[in-house]
Structure 1
Amino acid sequence: MSTSATLSPSGIPGLDNVLQGGLRQGHLYFIEGPPGTGKTTFGLQFLLEGLRRGERCLLISLAERPEEVAVIAASHGWSIDGLEVRDLVNPHEVHSTALFDLSETALDDRVQAALAEIDSLRPQRLVLDTLAALRIYSDHPSIFRRHVEHFRSKAVELGTTLLVTDEASGSPELHPRSLAWGIIRMEQRVSDYGPSRRWLWLPKLRGQAYVGGYHDMRIETGGLRVFPRLEIGRSTAPPARNDLVSSGNASLDTLLGGGLERGTSVGLIGPPGCGKSTLASRFALAAVERGERVVFYAFDESLATLRKRALSQDLEIDSALASQRLKLRQINPGQAAPGELARELAEEVDRHQTQLIVIDSLNGYFQAMPNDPMLNLQVHDLLSYLSAHGALTLLTLAHPSPLNRQQGLPVDLSYLTDTVIVQRYFEAYGTIRYALSVMKKRYGDHERTIREYKIGPGGIDVGEPLTEFRGVLTGVPEYLGEHQPLL
């Protein structure tokens, strides 16, 4: 009798979040994907989770021998003691007759042998690896479909959760996908540089809510790990506080209309070397001083460089790190998948109640999503998720300057963020100086002035509004008044 109302946890971190619980007992699932995408690892991980729960588990191997299965398991640090493994790699000796083709007889022989093993053990979890090894024996879609129906019927009869791996290659007629209760598709893409990117998605899942779309995936020692796509509508976060966050600098807070609102996102934009990271660090350390948790993601420079620069500006970064309220995280864009990064950021606010997040820089974050046409939407969803949890997110973004070759901004920062703070160079009295202004603030008022600032001990020192200059935004201002002292 089927127990289809019961869900079996997959044992794969993150996948049950996608499945909204697990896989239904008494049903057939196809695990599809090209060679090398992790189908066998998926099956083993599912079976070992069953063993951990005291269930009877059976692997029927049609592609690897038991000793090869043991090698795969050992590479992940797993023991398959207690797992029933049946080797049907070698065909049974059969003879051609006048009525049946040899391949047809071999297919029937293997299917009957597999069904006999299932009847004998009556497993609660069963993996058949792989359907492609049976397909080579049949050129008749109706006959092949009937054999797959035997496996499905047996799973329903015994209440067994049955996973069948398949490459899903060749003629579509030989892929009886309509028999499956659900299909999990695994894919990978090799880029010009760095590791391949892996993901999975569900083309089909009956009678069960699930998270649609692509979900990044990683194969590492210990098995598969899935990073579910963020769903903004499912957020159960408490309402964000509306109080203002201070930078710790009175002049800067005045420019910002008192500070930055919690639960918003802020873009710090400017050419390289104008102090975007320093400004972000000033907000981060002010939050630490208030007893808040801060995480700083560095994409463009090493943590040693970030710390050295902070110390040169008398920013108390070491004491913040010692308090464990500041976490520095260095990210290599060539090694990180966008879904993995988004899930890690989500866990910061879900699990650790992080109040301030710095992404330095957004340019580096984008390198983790090369050639992604949905870049704006992915980042927008991430920032919306963080905002819904009351976190203040600061993102630095370098725009074109004489120091880089960037032809244009990779995203629309005004669309993504609630506040935009612009930093720039300008020339005055024969020297290069720095100007700061708030170009946009979605919530609350702010100064419409342009202020000079300089970087020194304590980070950023913000001066008075540049009221007697015209054209500061162009970088070559015109002085209109009497001599005005600058910083």
Structure 2
Amino acid sequence: MKMTQDDEGEKHVPTGISGLDRILIGGYPAGRIMLVEGAPGTGKTTLALQFLIEGARRGKKAMFFSIAQSHLELDMIAESHGFDMSQVDTLTPELGHDGSSRVFSVDSDQADLVGLMDELNRELDKHKPDLFVFDSLLELRLLTQQETHYRRELLALRRKLREIGCTSLLVDHLEPQWGERNAEGIVHGVIKLDSVTPPIGVVRQRLTVTKLRGAPFVQGYHDFRIGTGGMVVYPRVIPKDAEPVTMEEMLEPSHDGLRDMLGGGLEFGSTLLIAGQSGTGKSTLATVLASDAGKRGLTSAMFLFEERTAVLRQRSRQVGIELAEQEEHGRVLLQHFDPAELSTGEFSNAVLSAVNEGARVIVIDSLSGYLEALPDQSHALIHLHTLIKHLAMREVLVIVTISQSGLLGEPPATQLNSSFIADSVILLRQYESNSEIRRSIAVLKKRQGDHLRNIQELVIRPGAVEIRHVSAETEKRTKSESTLGGS
């Protein structure tokens, strides 16, 4: 068997998709046969092309044998992604076409099947590829008259590929009505692709590895997206895989009032939940903390689901929080997401990318906006909890805002049981005083260390964010005791 020992070299062959390499713990097993299954349009051909093109780029001989798509169709797919197919040997015998060149027909007898397999064997002997893709087993299945004949052809193909010693992908259409999955039993590993079209938003695409003999892999479903440039896979987040970092123990707010209420600050590796009704200052308070981290040379990444980045910058500037300079120096990163246009896996990997690039404070504003815009909320909170556990193990401070229903005079409420994700909870409220609507702030919970349990007034005014004692002095608008974002 012609198994190469270079590169990573002896055990794995890169898939051409970094996320899939991570799921397979290095790539496809070298010299083995993998089965890629999925319904039409799920990305099987794109996945296969990326495998061959990456191999060709690394100097490997790559061969694509397709009876499912024509040479022109493959070129169109490659061109749409900007792939260079010039170093990939592509063969596309056209079944059912009469002409001077040798062709084969789907509805022909067994002799045509034998002819097709003879052609494939000759091409394999001629090219002796390092990497090989056969697309697809559906057409091979249609050419056979009995299931036993189909399995016999699969075994013959496996024997030939083993003789050549190439790393191979067999592409197949996943159709339940075909009954027993003969191909799954003769291959080394199986990758299944599927997609779900929600009532609103883009198609949700995911893959899972259902089999990989004698090798570890990341189990479960993993989201992916196909766009210009090919397939991008987002491995699911696993908390135990986090690699802790060593850093200071606590983020200490730069202003006395908030620092005192939090018992000195917020521990890295913990989660703060800021809850309140609309207009109570949740986003502003989260921005204050992100800005404080930036002033200490740490990077904060804010993921916005309700407010556009330009609006947040403008509002922050009006209350004395200047983000422009911190953004310029990479201390504050702002990203706006439309939940209807991305999957939970894609969001989780965007957060992890920010952390991998140095972010030590993550702000999610808001959890309510994120969940309410998702077409499928059934497992979103579990995904988020898993992500937060992973970030905690990497000693990242996570700040999450959540909106509560209820207007002035109504008891606030939320439909989400999100307190289990939080180590600390700040509660913001609105109340009426002397014909004015004011805001209050209180720290309800802090697992690590003590904190103040009194209620204070939160004042958000032009040029500053302030905390004041709720007292007679506050009613008379006396001088504030502490300022949180301006002068």
Deviation sequence 1:280-316 (CA, Å, 0-9, x none): 1111111111111111111101111111111111211
Matched, 1:84 2:93: no
Q: 1:136 to 1:390 in 2, by over 3 A?
A: same
Residues 433 and 475, structure 2, Cα contact 8 Å, conserved in 1? no
Deviation sequence 1:42-68 (CA, Å, 0-9, x none): 111111011001111111010111122
Letter paired with 1:418 = D
* Counterpart in the other structure of 1:313: 319
Report the Cα distance in structure 2 between the residues aligned to 1:130 and 1:224, rounded to whole angstroms.
19
Matched, 1:485 2:466: no
Matched, 1:105 2:105: no
Matched, 1:273 2:263: no
Report the Cα distance in structure 1 between the residues aligned to 2:473 and 2:227, rounded to whole angstroms.
64
Secondary structure in 2 matching 1:176: helix
Letter paired with 2:290 = A
1:406 positional shift: 13
* Counterpart in the other structure of 2:217: 210
Report the Cα distance in structure 2 between the residues aligned to 1:192 and 1:212, rounded to whole angstroms.
28
Letter paired with 1:247 = P
Matched, 1:375 2:380: yes
Superposition pairs of residues 431-450 of structure 1, within 5 angstroms: 431-450=436-455
* Counterpart in the other structure of 1:235: 242
Superposition pairs of residues 256-335 of structure 1, within 5 angstroms: 256-335=262-341
Unaligned runs of 5+ in 2: 5-9, 97-101, 478-487
- Give the 4+ runs in structure 1 shifted more than 4 A: 91-95, 405-408
Letter paired with 1:257 = G
* Counterpart in the other structure of 1:157: 163
Residues 184 and 203, structure 1, Cα contact 8 Å, conserved in 2? yes
Deviation sequence 1:155-210 (CA, Å, 0-9, x none): 22222111011112132236431111111111111111121111111111111111
Residues 319 and 463, structure 2, Cα contact 8 Å, conserved in 1? yes
Q: 1:407 to 1:173 in 2, by over 3 A?
A: farther
Report % sequence identity: 32
Matched, 1:182 2:189: yes
Secondary structure in 2 matching 1:432: strand
Residues 32 and 188, structure 2, Cα contact 8 Å, conserved in 1? yes
Letter paired with 1:38 = G
Letter paired with 1:237 = P
Report the Cα distance in structure 1 between the residues aligned to 2:104 and 2:365, rounded to whole angstroms.
66
Report the Cα distance in structure 2 between the residues aligned to 1:347 and 1:309, rounded to whole angstroms.
27
Matched, 1:128 2:111: no
Letter paired with 2:349 = R
Letter paired with 1:190 = T
Secondary structure in 2 matching 1:358: strand
* Counterpart in the other structure of 1:347: 353
1:113 positional shift: 1.4
1:331 positional shift: 1.1
Query: What's the RMSD between the two structures over aligned residues?
Result: 2.3
Secondary structure in 2 matching 1:14: helix
Matched, 1:59 2:49: no
Report the Cα distance in structure 2 between the residues aligned to 1:2 and 1:236, rounded to whole angstroms.
37
Letter paired with 2:449 = G
Moved more, 407-416 or 52-61: 407-416
Q: 1:140 to 1:345 in 2, by over 3 A?
A: same
Task: Say how many residue pairs are matched.
Answer: 464
Unaligned runs of 5+ in 1: 96-100, 467-481
Report the Cα distance in structure 2 between the residues aligned to 1:410 and 1:369, rounded to whole angstroms.
15
Residues 406 and 413, structure 2, Cα contact 8 Å, conserved in 1? no
* Counterpart in the other structure of 1:166: 172
* Counterpart in the other structure of 2:467: 462
Which residue of 196, 199, 205 maps to 1:192? 199
Report the Cα distance in structure 1 between the residues aligned to 2:224 and 2:254, rounded to whole angstroms.
40
* Counterpart in the other structure of 2:27: 22
Residues 426 and 442, structure 2, Cα contact 8 Å, conserved in 1? yes
Secondary structure in 1 matching 2:16: coil
Deviation sequence 1:8-54 (CA, Å, 0-9, x none): 10001311000000011222111111000111111111110110011
Which residue of 393, 396, 410 maps to 1:391? 396
Report the Cα distance in structure 2 between the residues aligned to 1:407 and 1:166, rounded to whole angstroms.
53
1:457 positional shift: 3.9
1:325 positional shift: 1.3
Moved more, 50-59 or 107-116: 107-116
Residues 216 and 226, structure 1, Cα contact 8 Å, conserved in 2? yes
Residues 340 and 375, structure 2, Cα contact 8 Å, conserved in 1? no
Secondary structure in 2 matching 1:29: strand
Secondary structure in 2 matching 1:136: helix
Residues 376 and 416, structure 1, Cα contact 8 Å, conserved in 2? no
Residues 359 and 395, structure 1, Cα contact 8 Å, conserved in 2? yes
Letter paired with 1:275 = G
Report the Cα distance in structure 2 between the residues aligned to 1:274 and 1:84, rounded to whole angstroms.
63
TM-score normalised by structure 1 residue count: 0.90
Report the Cα distance in structure 1 between the residues aligned to 2:165 and 2:476, rounded to whole angstroms.
79
Report the Cα distance in structure 1 between the residues aligned to 2:473 and 2:90, rounded to whole angstroms.
87
Letter paired with 2:206 = W
Q: 1:46 to 1:193 in 2, by over 3 A?
A: same
1:458 positional shift: 4.7
Report the Cα distance in structure 2 between the residues aligned to 1:190 and 1:406, rounded to whole angstroms.
38
Residues 283 and 365, structure 2, Cα contact 8 Å, conserved in 1? yes
